[in-house]
Structure formats: structure tokens, C-alpha cells
Structure 1
Amino acid sequence: MTLTRIVSKGQGNPATFALLALLFNGASAVASDIEVRGSAVIEQRYFLQDALYEEQSRANFSVYGEAEIYKAFNDGDDSISFKPFYRIDQNDDERTHADIRELVWLHVGDSWEMRTGVGKVFWGQTESLHLVDVINQTDSIEAIDGEDKLGQPMVNLSLIKEWGTTSIFVLPYFRERTFAGVDGRPRFALNVDTDNPIFESSDEENNIDWAARWQHSIGNWEIGLSYFDGTSREPILVPEFNDESAALRPYYPQMQQAGVDILAVMGSWLFKFEGISRSTTAEDYSALVGGFEYTTVGVFDSQFDLGWLMEYQYDGRDNTLLTPSQNDLMLGTRIVYNDIDGTEILMGIVQDLDESNSRSGFIEASSRISDNWKWRLDAWFFSSDTPEEPIYQYRRDDFVQLSMEFYF
């Protein structure tokens, strides 16, 4: 019932009408300024081989939805962004989960920005591995490449100057990493007991972490220097045995990490590098990933762009079981169709240089069907017969996944 109909039916006196009119018009103005968009996705995953464990299936169906609700106010100097996420999975109860990816109040000053709430921050430049990206926890049940992240409670101040942008983070609460359940696929041989994590800090998940990053563009170069001090986002999985079962308990040590990331643009060449020096109570080590991407625009006088990628991965940790990228080489190609549907294909292989029979491969392809619909194809392949290698656990988990995405 509209406000006009309420008054015409004699359901209010003039004073009530005036109050209702004020509230009605104010609510309408606020609602009209709120931007809402999002997506709903159907995924079908099919595994090419029988599972290693009887609880697992060869096919898995899931659906998920995510939205973004955005409101700007104070002449655009302030805004609130809310991004909820929810997935329902056919087989794995652990993969059926909800998360607030973002709930942030942003205030913009003349040369500074302040973000408060739950947010997502990405650091890094390379394609195959993101070493310096340590603010958000990995949502590992979403995808095997580790690029999906949980929302992180934070207060973030960024100072934007001619000599670069300096960002300081205070992180008052820690998010634990997600892991597949016994029905999930792929998963570790032993179940990960996420209900009983171990923390080095006596404050456990309430330990206050902090981080800082300086970023600047100098000509064709983009340079980032970062530092993190707090609870490691990467747990050490500790075996625990009793008379009835065995499991892995996540142990989260305290960590200090210094990092550098570099991107250089030189014509058709992109040179990328990330390096870290990390110190924990368990082990001190360094790691790096670096390489290039070369793109030929309009290959063979066509509309297609063809890119070639190569990146080398090194990790100095002694325990290779926890280190999938200790001495590996990634080779890949990117095909951009430059059509109205935005069709792209990325393919690659990661070869272990120490073990000739240990490698993984991936395919990512996507294209729009209409203004609201998009299809996506993801495939991963694993090969190893060395039990000490991390991907040995996934040796029977080659899969192809087709997604239909609806955007609104």
C-alpha cells in the first residue's frame, strides 16, 4: 500500500502523514543510492579416476552465490561495501559454508584512506604462486590453486604520496584455514581436525597481527616492499594418533616475513618477481618465484593475442611434503580471443625439476553467453609416484569442472 492510498483511506491525521512522508521519502532516497550486484553459480565437477578413499565420489555438484551491496555517502568520501558468500556442496559438509568476504567502511581523505571492518587485500605479481600475499587466509576448499580467500578483520590506513603508497594493517582476529572433509575430493590421506587447532600464541586466534607495505610505480616498474608479523596463515599439519583413529591437527606458529614483489613492463614483455624471507619457531627459510610473460598481439594477422609464460619456483624448506614448489618450473600459454564475449584460455604445466615424474597441469577457460550468463571450464591434472612429493596425495584426483555463472 502506497503512502497516498494510506491517506486517501483516512488512515492517518495530517501530523502522521507528514511524519510518514518524511520517513518514506528518506528511505526511498537511501534505497535508490544502494548498489546491489552479484552472481549465482552452478558447478559440476567430474573426476577422471576412481577415488583413493571409499568415502569419495567421482562426481560432485555444488552451487554458490555471492553479492556486493555498496553504499556511498558524505559526498562520496565514505562508503560501505558488504560481500557475503555461501556455498552448498553435494558431498562435502566442510565445503558447505558461508563467509563474509568483505564488510568494510572506507573513508577517503585528501591523501589518505582508512578501511575498517572485514576486508580482502591482495599482494603480488606472479601468475603461478603468490608468496607475499599473507593478509587473508586461504579458503582451500573453494579451489586447489589457493587463490580464494576468507575475509580478514582489519583496520587499514593507507598514505598516498608522490613517493608511493604506504599501507599499515592492524589485524585483530585470526581466521583458520579451511580443509576438505573425509567426503571431500581432493583431500589429504588423513582427516584434518579443524576443530582442534594448535596455536603458538597464548592469545590463540585473538593474537593481534600487524603488517605494512610500500608500493610505488617508477617508470615501467612497479615495486612493493612488505613486512608481516603475526600468526602464520600457513599451518603445519601435525599427525596425532590414538587407539581408534589418526588425524592431522593444524599448528599455527608465529611468523615474521619480509617480502618484495616487482613487475616490469617492457613492450610486449612482462617480467614478474616475488621473494620472501620468513622466520618461524619451526624453521627459517627463503622462497622466490620469478619469470616472464611475452604476448604477441594479433598473432598471424588474426584478432587473437597469444601469450607465453614461464616462472621458476624455489622454496628453501627442508620438508618437501609441505612444499609443493621447492624447485619447480611453470610453463604456460594464454590465448585472448578479443571477441565480444571476452573469451580467454590459460593453460600451464608445473614440472618438478628434482623429480621428473612429478608434475601438475591446469586449464582455465571462460566466455560470456549473454549479458547475464557466462560459462567457465577448469581442469587440473596430477602425476607423481613419489610419496614424499605433495601432489602424490592427489595422484588419482584429476578433474574437470564446468560452471554456469549468472550475474545480476
Structure 2
Amino acid sequence: MKRTWLASALITSMITSISMSATEFELSGKVSVEHRHFFKDAQFEGQFNGGQSSATIEPELYWSWNDGFDSIIFTPFYRVDSQDDNRQHGDIRELAYIHAADDWELRVGIRKEYWGVTEFQHLVDVINQTDGVEDFDGEDKLGQQMINLSLVQAWGIVDFFILPGFRERTFASEQGRLRGPIVVDKNNVNYESSAEQQHLDVALRWAHSIGDFDLGSYWFHGTNREPILTPSFNSEGVVLQQYYNQMDQLGLDVQATLGDWLWKFESIYRKTSTESFVATQAGFEYSFIGIFDTNLDLGLLTEYAWDSRGVVDFNTIEFGKSGSVFQNDLFVGTRLAFNDMQSTEMLMGVSTDLDHSANSFLMEATRRFGDSFKASVDIRLLQSSDSIDSAFMLRDDDHAQFSVEWYF
């Protein structure tokens, strides 16, 4: 936390030193209201039933000067929530200084860095910590302190990362839904490194486009973003303790655009002091353009996930060992793009655990209204009859989510 505010103070001092007459200032962002409705009563003690309402604000302030070669971006975030105390939280998503030159770029501060090409799981996305209270799909990330030097070469873009601070994952509180039977204690955290949150992580990534292929590979050394959860005790009783070990991870992502086919591949190799494993996500999307002589585009998606660790067995947790939710899973889905003035889109998909016959269904639909508003509907249904599978803990958490966003 000290380093977070040190970075904030440093960038703030840089802002005040800039002549306002030489700068360009932009303010944008969004405000959203959201409501989730759970179709079934909660299965664990302390959880709420029925609906959950919330609102967020995420402004973005952008300064640029020196003909745009220097800039600062600031993106704070805050959510208020009617049911889950842990989901009512704030974060600095971005607060960074960026200097661009002809063949290099320097980025210093708090940022979000996304890697990945697949649709249903992002194995290679390792820099930022997951903001787990936002949604259980892992798409939302916390801001990460970093120094990032990007070199542009004819043979690719090379990025060097120094990551001087670690963020712990967020989890639902006792009142929250989309959690297991034992609450994760956010105050009960241990680290393999004696430096704990101050461990200095590093990463190196290469990315390049060759013809129809977009390639990326990286090496990461530092604190694992995925905590190992083990039973412990506090004054309230049994809780889950977070343990963050050290890891080295190699990652590879490939995307090939071949006509109407889009082929996607992600794979990682991770080594810790207690285990090593390989995980892969691969698949394709085929697009039918202008079906039935309309503006409608239809995409068919298929992906397969494999993880050498096998499934997470929550009945027999072994300290230092982890598992995967997607150890042998098949995903199929369809994407509809209406190509209308309102940018209407819809994604539907089904995932199946081929080992334990667990299934989940998702639907995501969005549509703009006017120039400033966007409405979204998300539906998620979960089915499992095997207590070993992670979906078993969420079998009563089927829900629909409605949101309206105002962009300014």
C-alpha cells in the first residue's frame, strides 16, 4: 500500500509541474447501475436470497503534452453494493505516466495489462490480479503497479516489466453469493516469500505478427496470482486462508486469421516449489457473414481446455497443491453481431466438464441506446451433481444480471 501511494504522489507531482497551456485534457468514463436476481435460495448459511443491486463509477482523466508523446491517465473505480460488504469497494485501475518515442515506449505507474486470445478462459493473462467480487468469470482485474519498457523492433515488440507491489485477490463475504461453503478470510493471508506483498516480480514478453498469425510468448517470475485456499480458524470459526507461493511461468498465445476462420491457442507451463504443470486452451471461431442476406453475422465457437493438475478436489485439500476448474472441459457457443446503429451483440455458450458431467450456460447481450447509454443482460446457469467439481458449490447460484451504463 505504501508503494501505491508513493506512485500516486510521484505522478501527482509530475502533473503539477506541467504547464497547463501546453497540455490537452480529456474527461470521460462511465456510470452504471446493475441488478442481479438469483433464481434459487442460497445454499449456505449467511448468504442473501433474491436480488442484489449495485452501482459503479469509473471516470477516466487523460492529460497529454509534448505533441502527445507524453501523457498521464487516471482511472479510479468505485462500487456500492446492497448485499455484499466485500463487493462494495474501490480501486485505482490506472494511474500512469506514458512516454512514447519512435521505437520505444515507457509506462510507469498503476496499469492494466491484458494478454490472451481465447474466449472462455485466459490462461496467459498473468500480470494483473483478478477482482473476484466483480464477477466470477475472472474478467475484471485490479490495477497493478509497474514499470514497463516496450521496445518496437522489426522482429517484434519486446516488453520488460518490473512489478514492485502485489495485490491480493478479492472474494465474496459471508453474505455474498457465488462462493463456496467456507468463507475466504481476507485478513488471513500468508506468503511463501518473506517479502510478502513487497516482493519484486518481473516479466518479459515478445509479441509479433507474421502474415495471418499473431504470436506472443513470455516469462514471468514472482508471486502467483492464484492463491491456494486451505482451511484455518479465526474468531468466527472455520475459514479459508489464502497462501500465495512463488512461481515461474512460461506462456504462449497464437491467433491465426484464415479467411472466415479464427484459430486460437493459449498454453502455460508453471513451476512452483511444490508442483509443476501444463495447461492449454485451444479452439476456433468460424464466421458466417451476412446470413440470410441481412447485416447479421453469425460466429460459431468451440474451445477445449486441459490441465495436467486435474480437478480441484475441495473434499481433500492438500497444502501447497492446486487444481483447475477447467481440467478437461469443452466449450461451444455462438456469437451474433447485428451490425446495426445500436451495435447489438449477443454471445451464448455452454461448457461441459467431460470428467464430472457438470454443465454451465451463459448468455451475454448488449445494445446501445442513443450516443451515451448501453444496456446489458447476462444469464448464467450452473448444473453439477458431483461434489468434487467446483460447480457443485454454485449449483444454486443461477442468476440473471441487468445493467445500464452511461458513458460521458
**TM-score, with normalisation over the residues of structure 1?**
0.91
Q: Alignment partner of 2:187: what SS?
A: coil
Does structure 1 conserve the Cα–Cα contact (< 8 Å) formed by 2:22 and 2:65? no
Residue 41 of structure 1 pairs with residue 42 of structure 2: no
Question: Does the CA-based 8 Å contact 1:253-1:282 persist in structure 2?
Answer: no
1:133 pairs with 2:125: yes
Partner of residue 51 from structure 2, selected from 52, 59, 62: 59
Q: Confirm or deny that 1:114 pairs with 2:106.
A: yes
Segments of structure 2 that go 5 or more residues without pairing to the other structure are 1-16, 314-322
Matches within 5 A, 1:205-224: 205-224=197-216
Q: What is the aligned counterpart of 2:232 among 237, 240, 251?
A: 240
* Cα offset, 1:369, TM superposition: 1.1
The 5 A counterparts of 1:13-28 are none
Residues 301 and 333, structure 2, Cα contact 8 Å, conserved in 1? yes
Distance in structure 2 (CA, Å) of the matches to 1:297 and 1:110: 38
Q: C-alpha separation between the residues in 1 aligned to 2:82 and 2:191?
A: 32
Counterpart of 2:402, as a letter, is L
Equivalent residue number for residue 11 of structure 2: none
Aligned match of 2:259 = 267
- What is the CA-CA distance between 1:151 and the residue it aligns to? 0.2
What secondary structure sits across from 1:99 in the alignment? strand
Distance in 2 of aligned mates of 1:203 and 1:237: 20
SS of match in other structure, 2:130: coil
Query: Residue deviations 1:40-96, cap 9 Å, x none?
Result: 100010001111124222210000010110000122110000000000000111000
Q: Secondary structure at the match of 1:391?
A: helix
**1:334-388 CA distance string (max 9 Å, x none):** 00000000000000011011122x0111111000111111100111110001111
Quote how far apart the aligned CAs of 1:187 are: 1.2
* Letter aligned with residue 68 of structure 2: G
- Which whole-Å deviations, capped at 9, do the CAs of 1:202-233 have from their partners, x for residues lacking one? 00000000001000000000000111000000
Equivalent residues of 1:382, 1:398 under 8 A apart: yes
Number of the residue aligned with 2:320: none
Q: CA deviation at 1:241?
A: 3.8
Larger Rg: 1
Which residue of the other structure, out of 291, 294, 300, is the alignment partner of 1:302?
A: 294
Identity %: 48
2:138 and 2:172 map into 1 onto residues whose CA distance is 13
Number of the residue aligned with 1:341? 342
The match for 1:148 among 117, 140, 155 is 140
Distance 2:227 2:374 in 1: 35
The answer as to whether partners of 2:31 and 2:407 remain within 8 angstroms in 1 is yes
Once residues 36 and 311 of structure 1 are traced to their aligned partners in structure 2, the CA distance between those partners, rounded to angstroms, is 39
> Contact 2:40–2:49 at 8 Å: present in 1 too?
no
Number of equivalenced pairs: 382
What is the rounded CA distance, in whole Å, between the counterparts of 2:151 and 2:236 in structure 1? 55
Distance, in Å, in 1 between the alignment partners of 2:361 and 2:243 is: 29
Matches of 2:293 and 2:236, distance apart in 1:
66
Mapped to 1, the partners of 2:140 and 2:392 lie a distance apart of 23
Superposed CA RMSD: 1.6
Match of 1:14 in 2: none
Q: State the partner residue of 1:10.
A: none
Q: Deviations over 1:246-268 (max 9, x none)?
A: 00011000010001000000000
What letter matches 1:327 in structure 2? Answer: N
CA displacement 1:135-184 (0-9 Å, x = unmatched)? 00000100111010000000000000110000010000000000000011
SS of residue matched to 1:195: strand
Give the AA of the match of 1:330. F
Question: Paired residue for 2:3?
Answer: none
Name the structure 1 match of 2:403: 403
Paired with 1:141 and 1:407, the residues of 2 have a C-alpha distance of 23
Equivalent position SS for 1:76: coil
Determine the C-alpha separation between the residues in 1 that align with 2:18 and 2:118.
46
The CA distance in 2 between the partners of 1:290 and 1:319, in whole Å, is 18
Residue matched to 1:332 = 333
| TM-aligned CA deviation for residue 240 of structure 1 | 1.0
1:376 paired residue number: 376
